[in-house]
Each structure stands twice: as C-alpha cells, then as structure tokens.
Amino acid sequence: MNNLSVDHLIGIKGLSKEDIELIFTTADSFKQVINRPIKKVPSLRDVTIANLFFENSTRTRLSFELAEKRLSADVVNFSAASSSVKKGETLIDTVNNILAMKVDLVVMRHPNPGAAKFLSERIGAKVVNAGDGTHEHPTQALLDAYSIREKLGEDFKGKKVVIVGDIKHSRVALSNIFCLQKLGAEVMVCGPTTLIPKHIKELGVKVEHDLRKALEWCDVANMLRIQLERQDIQFFPSLREYSMLFGLDKKLLDSLDKKIIVMHPGPINRGVEISSDVADSDQSIILDQVENGVAIRMAVIYLLASKINR
C-alpha cells in the first residue's frame, strides 16, 4: 500500500492499521532527511499550506511549520489571537478567504470538537487536524506510537501502555487509545475517578486508580498534563494532592523492578504530573517525541499532498 485510505487526517479513528504503518515507513525516510546536513527535500515545491491556530500551541505549530518547510512547501501562518476572528469573522469565512488565496492544504487547531471535520466537508483543500478541543490530536498519537516503535520494535502485540492523568479532557488520550489498539498494544488509563470518563471501558481499555499498580503493569507510561483550561469545575482537591497520588517522581520510578519508558506530549507541568528528574532521566523519551513529530508530520503532509488534484 502506498496511499492513505483517507483524504483528510481528522482523527486516528478513521485510519486503518495499514494507513498508520504507511505513515511510519514514510516517516522513517523523512527522519533520515532531517538528520542530514541539508534537511530539505523539494517534494512539495508546488504546494501551499495554511496553518490555522485558533488555540495556543508551541510544539505542534512549530513542528508542522518545520515539516512543511522541510518539504519545500509555501507556508502561511494564521493565529486567531491576532486575526479578524476578534472582529467577529466566522470560521468558514476566515477559511474561505484564506482558500481564495489558493491554499492546497490546511492544518488547523481549534477549541471545538468536530471543527476539523466541519471544515473538511466544506472546503476543497486537504485538512489536517492539529487538535480539536477534547476530541482528537492524531499527529500527536502517531508520533507517540512511532516513538514507542523506535524503542520497543515494530510489533506492538503484547506491549502495554498506560496513559496517566486527565483522560476526561484529553484529545491526546483518545487518539493514543485508538492508535495503540489498532497497532495491537494493550492500553490502560490511570487517574482519579473524576478525570476518567464513565464509559471508557467500552473502548476496550483497562482502568486503574492506583499509579503504582499501573506502572508495575506497563512497559510505557504516557504522563498527561492536567488541562485546567478545560475544567469548569474542580475535579480534585488540589494540585498538591493530585501530584502526591498521580505524579511520577524518581523514587517511584526507581522502585519498580523494571525500566519502563516515560513519555509526555508536553507542555509539562514539572512537579505536578512528572518531576524534573524523571522528565530529564534516561528513561524519558520526551525530546525524542518532539524530534519524531517533525518526521511524522512530514509523512502525513506528503501523503495527503499526493492526493491533491493539480
């Protein structure tokens, strides 16, 4: 298979295992490119990409822009904070104006779940979801799984991954669950009862509320940030108490009888969900995830761009 089964990347839910594997093998080639002295290929010289960010981002935004430039695409960046959205312009009007400037592919982050799908059904350009509210963050899950593959090998069967923290508000958790399960891994979620969705077991994941037990079970722990900006009520008494029960520190990590891999999608709240000495330890692959993000996004954009009629 050398083509994706989808025309847009809205979520991992819509991808097949073969799609994910194709993205990984394409990313393998691009990872070689970005580690060469000349980190650029001319593949997308005739493609124009707009990065539309209606919500804050550091890693995803930089990573997409870098990926696009490494592929030699023309890139325009849009930030809602400094745009006419502030004057009342709607999403579709904003996008139509950008498309009138002959854009081929749109990468969008938006606070509303479903925004990327809405857009893909209304415009001619290809759409990549860079995170839509609490729904999905597909390229994050792809780069996370790709980073696990790099450490533990291509066969995910029997690999055990625990996602710890604010599962309820996390698009990263949902995309990771879909991605890891499609690849054959076992997934557990761990956190306070109030931050675990009631029906999550229906997705086929295990649920654990004791962090030590979860860590003893897993090969990989993906530590998530508490998304205070999406919480309208208080889900736990204090960050200090959360950290005592669900924060990963070096003492706990070293007390396990095996060496697990520690991941975090960022941004990290050091001292809350993860201590500094764990984030910076040799078991942490947090910066590998960031590096792999560029290769994965190059692969996604390259594969979707090959479907543009030109």
What contacts 223, CB < 8 A, 6 or more positions away?
164, 165, 248, 262, 263, 264, 273, 274
Contact 273, 2 (CB under 8 A): no
- Indicate which single residue of 60, 129, 170, 175 sits in contact with ligand CP (rule: CB under 6 A): 60
Q: Which of the following is catalytic: 61, 110, 117, 137?
A: 137
Q: Which of the following is catalytic: 8, 26, 31, 60?
A: 60
Q: Would you say 43 or 180 has its CB closer to ligand CP?
A: 180
Find the radius of gyration of the CA atoms of the chain.
19
Q: Would you say 144 or 208 has its CB closer to ligand CP?
A: 144
What contacts 105, CB < 8 A, 6 or more positions away?
47, 48, 49, 50, 73, 125, 126, 127, 128, 301, 304, 305, 308
Residue 250 designated active-site: no
Contact 292, 148 (CB under 8 A): no
Bridge partner residues of 222 (DSSP): 163, 263
Q: What is the largest CA-CA distance in the chain?
A: 59
- Mapping DSSP to helix (H, G, I), strand (E, B) and coil, where does residue 70 land? helix
Q: Rule CB under 6 A: is residue 58 a binding residue for ligand CP?
A: yes
Bridge partner residues of 238 (DSSP): none
Nearest to 180 by CA among 236, 128, 139, 142: 142
Q: Would you say 158 or 267 has its CB closer to ligand CP?
A: 267
In the complex, minimum distance from the CB of residue 65 to ligand CP, in angstroms, rounded to a whole number: 11
d(CA 280, CA 174): 26
Q: Would you say 208 or 286 has its CB closer to ligand CP?
A: 286
In the complex, minimum distance from the CB of residue 245 to ligand CP, in angstroms, rounded to a whole number: 24
Piece of 4-12, 72-80, 207-215, 261-269 that binds ligand CP (CB under 6 A)? 261-269
In the complex, minimum distance from the CB of residue 240 to ligand CP, in angstroms, rounded to a whole number: 24
Q: Would you say 43 or 142 has its CB closer to ligand CP?
A: 142
Q: Rule CB under 6 A: is residue 230 a binding residue for ligand CP?
A: no
Residue 60 designated active-site: yes
Q: Rule CB under 6 A: is residue 266 a binding residue for ligand CP?
A: yes
Binding to ligand CP in span 132-191, by CB under 6 A: 137, 140
- Indicate which single residue of 1, 267, 270, 280 sits in contact with ligand CP (rule: CB under 6 A): 267
Q: Would you say 43 or 106 has its CB closer to ligand CP?
A: 106
In the complex, minimum distance from the CB of residue 140 to ligand CP, in angstroms, rounded to a whole number: 5
Residue 87 designated active-site: yes
What contacts 115, CB < 8 A, 6 or more positions away?
54, 91, 108, 132, 133
Residue 90 designated active-site: no
Binding to ligand CP in span 61-80, by CB under 6 A: 61
Q: Which residues bind ligand CP (CB under 6 A)?
A: 57-61, 131, 137, 140, 265-267
Residue positions annotated with a catalytic role = 59-60, 87, 109, 137
